[in-house]
Chain A
Amino acid sequence: MNPAVPPLAPPAPLVKRHRLSTRLWHWLNAAVMVILFMSGLGIFNAHTRLYWGQYGANFDHAWLVLDRFPGWITLPGHYSLAMSRHWHLTFAPVFAFALLVYMLWSLSNRHFRRDLAFRRDELSPRHIWRDIIDHARLRFPKGQAALRYNILQKAAYNGVLFLALPALILSGLAMSPGMNAAWPWLIDIFGGRQSARSVHFIACWAVVAFFFVHILMVLLAGPVNEIRSMITGRYRVPPE
């Protein structure tokens, strides 16, 4: 042994990081979202054109025209509008009600207020700019600071939680002719059924973009520690 090496510091303590509600929802949501994404692309393949407004079919102007998505990314792996719809419409309510329960739970255990609400001092341009620089340099917070979400992280989580996911649910419901009769106001939020279909598609890819950034950040911040904290709730505080 080299006597010049200083004695190892005791391992940093494991602290409780994520609540049960967050962990349960995270993993249920991860599975359900994959099913919804892949079956959604299967449904999209039945008509690969997107429009704005109340109506839109082959003779009308489309703002986006794509080829069919390949079988490896759709559910089922072959073209079956009926089966894609069965998967999608079975898991869409699971997704929507899980989000609702998670939101109510997170309100009552003060997760939203403590961890996700923006604090005034965080919103100063200088603070935001510093956080952007830190991210660009891949400089992650250490010590107690690592236990709090930073401003960009909060913005990403809040954007997905309160914008993209509700937009997915509402635009999905707005495409239903039955719901149009039940809740006529729903379709007016989007300005028509074809607009709702376009918003559904855009929000879907916004969540996919979030997913990739999220995975990247987990990998950069230390995947074992991060994933453990989302499974057991325990997180090893990175030493200062």
Chain B
Amino acid sequence: MSGPLILSRRTLIGSMAATMLTGCDRLAEHENVQRILFSAENFHRWAQRSLMDRNALAREFSASDISPIFRANGTANPNTDAYKAIWRTDFADWRLKVTGMVGRPLSLSLAQLHALPHREQITRHDCVEGWSAIGKWRGVPLRTILDAARLSTRAKYLVFRCADTMGSGHPYYESIDMIDAFHPQTILAFALNGKPLSVANGAPLRLRVERQLGYKQAKYLMAIEAVDSLYGIGRGKGGYWEDYAGYDWYAGI
């Protein structure tokens, strides 16, 4: 085959792809197309939750499966004055506030959390980008905290407020519903691989929701708020990445 023919075919395929691409990109700007593309999440949430038991566990691994280095992602250090202040005292002045639709609002110190029953789990952390890391988490089952706070039966979501503000100055936050909130592997973790959480991995406390992707595992927890709607929180999509980057709220896939 002669050179120019290959070239022209490549140009042809390239321009066909480009035409289709522009077409798709244009389509995606349409409100209705966008609504369809963004609603696939609902199908996947419905399908997965129909297929799995409410308490179906994420796989737990053995100590020999642990990643040599647990990659940290997102904020490596919140670096705000408030965070630096609590970090300097080794989080002695840090409190986890539990507020919103609860019968008994809580303000828990790290020592109080340490005194509660723990769960340890070696699980795989799956980033939305595609990589995975296995680590051993130790923490307090979220259910224990919710029971202590006497969570209202009308509460539908838990909103996790974090100490880090992303580059844009918006504070990180995430939310989960009650199916995941009461899941046995959903814990507030204060230790990774036998050591207190490092700053890069979310010190002093981070959420573990093992059946969902990494961006749901909120780091630098400051407060948990029980709500009946995500409307009016941030931009209303239920999390920082959901609000500002268009990520799915349900991150099971």
Instruction: Give which listed residue, A47, A176, A181, contacts B56 with CB less than 8 A.
Output: A181
B52 at the interface (CB under 8 A from A): yes
Instruction: Tell me which residues across on chain B come within 8 A of A44, comparing CB atoms.
Output: 130
Minimum CB–CB distance from B63 to chain A (whole Å) comes to 13
B144 at the interface (CB under 8 A from A): no
Minimum CB–CB distance from B1 to chain A (whole Å) comes to 11
Minimum CB–CB distance from B222 to chain A (whole Å) comes to 25
Instruction: Tell me which residues across on chain B come within 8 A of A182, comparing CB atoms.
Output: 48, 51-53, 56
Within 8 A of A (CB), among B6-50: 14, 17-18, 20-22, 24-25, 28, 36-38, 40-41, 43-44, 47-48
B67 at the interface (CB under 8 A from A): yes
Per-residue CB proximity of B45-81 to A under 8 Å, as 1/0?
Answer: 0011001110011110100010111010000000000
Per-residue CB proximity of A86-111 to B under 8 Å, as 1/0?
Answer: 11011001000000000000000000
Q: Which chain A residue has the least Cβ–Cβ distance from B40?
A: A90
Number of chain B residues whose Cβ lies closer than 8 Å to a Cβ of chain A: 53
Instruction: Give which listed residue, A82, A83, A178, contacts B212 with CB less than 8 A.
Output: A178
Per-residue CB proximity of A34-57 to B under 8 Å, as 1/0?
Answer: 110010000110110100001111
A138 at the interface (CB under 8 A from B): no
Instruction: Tell me which residues across on chain B come within 8 A of A81, comparing CB atoms.
Output: 128-129, 245
Q: Which chain B residue has the least Cβ–Cβ distance from A92?
A: B40
| With known contacts A72-B18, A86-B246, A90-B36, A178–B211 Cβ distance under 8 A | yes
Does A72 contact B17, Cβ atoms closer than 8 Å? yes
Q: How many A-B residue pairs have CB under 8 A?
A: 147
Instruction: Tell me which residues across on chain B come within 8 A of A59, comparing CB atoms.
Output: 67-69, 71
Assembly CA distance A47 to B57 (angstroms): 27
B138 at the interface (CB under 8 A from A): no
Minimum CB–CB distance from A29 to chain B (whole Å) comes to 16
A194 at the interface (CB under 8 A from B): yes
Instruction: Tell me which residues across on chain A come within 8 A of B20, comparing CB atoms.
Output: 34
Does A35 contact B24, Cβ atoms closer than 8 Å? yes
A187 at the interface (CB under 8 A from B): yes
| With known contacts A93-B43, A182-B52, A193-B124, A76–B129 Cβ distance under 8 A | no
Does A56 contact B131, Cβ atoms closer than 8 Å? yes
Instruction: Give which listed residue, B57, B126, B130, contacts A46 with CB less than 8 A.
Output: B130
B120 at the interface (CB under 8 A from A): no
A239 at the interface (CB under 8 A from B): no
| With known contacts A85-B248, A90-B36, A177-B211, A57–B57 Cβ distance under 8 A | no
Residue numbers of A with Cβ under 8 A of B are: 34-35, 38, 43-44, 46-47, 49, 54-60, 72-73, 75-77, 80-83, 85-87, 89-90, 93, 175-184, 187, 193-194, 197
- The 3 closest A-B CB pairs, nearest first, are A178-B252, A182-B52, A82-B246
Beyond A57-B132, A177-B252: 16 further Cβ-contacts under 8 Å?
Answer: A44-B130, A47-B131, A80-B246, A82-B241, A83-B28, A83-B37, A85-B128, A89-B40, A89-B248, A90-B37, A90-B40, A93-B43, A177-B211, A177-B212, A178-B252, A197-B130
